[in-house]
Amino acid sequence: MKTHNNPKNQRLHRFASRFAFFCLLLTTYCSIAQTVKRVELPLPGTNESFHTISLGAKGVVLVSQLSKNAFNIQKLNADLERDWSINGTIEENLDFVKSSYDGQSIYLLFTRTRTDFYQVVKVGIAGFMETFYLTSVDRFQITDFQTLGYSVFMAGTVRDEPMLLYTNLASKQSKVLPGVTQANTVIQSVDIDTLHHLVNVCYAARKGREIKMISRTFDEYGQAVGQVMVEPEPDYSLLNGRLFMLNDSTKLMIGTYGFRNMQGNNNSASQGLFLSKIVYDEVEFTQYHSFTDFKNFFNFMSDREQERMQRKIERKKESGDDVKLNYRLLVHDIIEQNGNYLISGEVFYPEYRNNNNGPYGMSSWWGSPVMSPLGWGGMGMYPSMGLWNPYYWDPFYGARRMNNGQVFNGFIYTHAIVAGFTAKGDLLWDNSLPFDNVRSMELKEKVRVKPNEDQTVSMFYSNRGTIKAKVFDKDKVLADTQPIPIMTADMSDRVRQTTTDEVLYWYDNYYLAFGYQRITSGDGRRNVFYLNKISF
């Protein structure tokens, strides 16, 4: 007897097949993200909020502002258990601006806009706290804060001129570090190299429509130890860049470039990525990769838009030209994978709206682009000045675009990209992850990139209490998951609202998801700051 003709056996066979398929989906779903542990900190009101600092395998530190003149620091270990908690005081009228962690100590910076007075709090892993009071150049507007040992590096502007300020906390001696003598320059980035104990500062220098990148390297004592100049090809301008140390003699600068004739007085238009290999401070080569050469860059568009863009690209290339683009990219750190380089970043654009009056105008914290509208984390009553660096997306005119009643309305993230490059700068493959309605008042990394042991790559981000993830095998998508909910403490919990949720790499295969949630359950309602230890 042929069993496949039996209707009952056929139904059993279909059920078994569907069950097996469901189990496969469930296994894939669970293998991407698993909550290992969750901690909730109650928020008695809407005024308390937390700043989160990852210490890797040593744990995590939470900073919260208790009042206008007091703050609390607590350290949790890798199992999210509290090790210690200490309180500190803040000088009158100062706001929390930024933290820095150099692998040994945490540094907290308190100041206010256009001031020459700063409070720096140095906190050891064991809970020992030191406070330093610093003064600097009058009307110094800070855009970056980095630390290395007892050395503090602060980038900023004075009367629209770039300045790099060095302070030794032990001696309380400060000095202005030598910058770039060329006129019309801005500080693009300040990166700490804890392995080599160096600080890499990238400048964008403009002459007419030409923009080139100049990087200066300092040791932890503020001494200049190297300079690199990367000049673009005649038709291009380099819009932003970051310098990475590969070894003692070799560096790699990556950033975005654009066509020179597209750079105007009110905007800077980026066309693609550039990579420059530098050996002993001399440029060995620079490779340019237009986003039109990427296979998956435009996947965030609808099918019809992609087809229209592809036809346009093909027509331009047939005539020896290229479609002119205007994308802004926030570039991440370089990841080495099997002798090649992974470069990733988020594509975004700043949004404005016309509104001269009302509670969200330019005179308010919410309306000002220089102020952080989220305060200490989105729920604080004491707004933070924040570090707003417009040069990431408009090297020279970002701070001047808001006129005629325009109000900055946040950064809109469209999609994230990841691409593999050879050691010679050749593009091997690329892929992308679209964002689902992601907006941020602060320009910062949203996506996390994880290279896997089988040479695949995972990309994911958190938004509205869920995690969206994709797994790539070069140009192919192996897994494109449905949004994965960030698990709460109880199965009966219902999350009513999630705000300012983030995911950051923690250590090994663990990531930290955190944010604010309003939850209802059988026991009532609660507002919490949550920390989820997640295994990917």
pLDDT in tens, 332-353: 999 988 889 999 999 998 888 8
DSSP letter for each residue of 271-306: -EEEEEEEETTEEEEEEEEEGGG-SSTTTTS-HHHH
CA neighbours closer than 13 Å in the CB half-sphere of residue 4: 0
Domain ranges across the chain: 1-32, 200-356+413-444
Other CB atoms within 10 A of residue 260 CB: 16
Provide the pLDDT for residue 358: 43
List C-alpha distances in Å: 454 to 26, 33, 259: 21, 17, 38
Of 125, 153, 136, nearest to 53 by C-alpha is 125
Give the whole-angstrom CA distance, residue 469 versus residue 435.
10
- Condensed to tens digits (0 to 9), the pLDDT of residues 169-228 reads 988 888 999 988 787 888 988 999 988 899 999 999 988 888 999 999 999 999 999 999
- Condensed to tens digits (0 to 9), the pLDDT of residues 428-465 reads 999 999 998 888 887 889 999 999 889 999 999 988 88
Provide the pLDDT for residue 486: 86
493, with CB counted inside 10 A (0-12, 13-18, 19+), is middle
Residues 6 or more apart whose CB falls under 8 angstroms from that of 332 comprise 343, 344, 345, 445, 447, 449
Provide the pLDDT for residue 22: 38
Give the whole-angstrom CA distance, residue 435 versus residue 346.
9
* Token pair belonging to 164: 């790099």
Regarding pTM above 0.75, the answer is yes
Provide the pLDDT for residue 259: 92
Provide the pLDDT for residue 366: 24
- What is the rounded average pLDDT for all residues in the chain? 82
Provide the pLDDT for residue 390: 55
Give the whole-angstrom CA distance, residue 378 versus residue 260.
39
CA-CA-CA-CA torsion for 374, 380, 381, 385, nearest 10 degrees? -50
Q: How far is CA 459 from the centre of its chain?
A: 14
Residues 6 or more apart whose CB falls under 8 angstroms from that of 334 comprise 244, 252, 254, 341, 342, 343
Residues 6 or more apart whose CB falls under 8 angstroms from that of 10 comprise 4
- Condensed to tens digits (0 to 9), the pLDDT of residues 94-118 reads 888 889 998 889 999 998 766 788 8
Provide the pLDDT for residue 9: 52
DSSP letter for each residue of 461-524: EEETTEEEEEEEETTEEEEEPPPEEPP-SSTT-EEEEEEEEEEEEEETTEEEEEEEEEEEETTE
Distance between terminal CA atoms of the chain?
49
Residues of the chain with pLDDT under 50: 1-5, 7-8, 10-30, 357-386, 397-402
Other CB atoms within 10 A of residue 518 CB: 15
478, with CB counted inside 10 A (0-12, 13-18, 19+), is middle
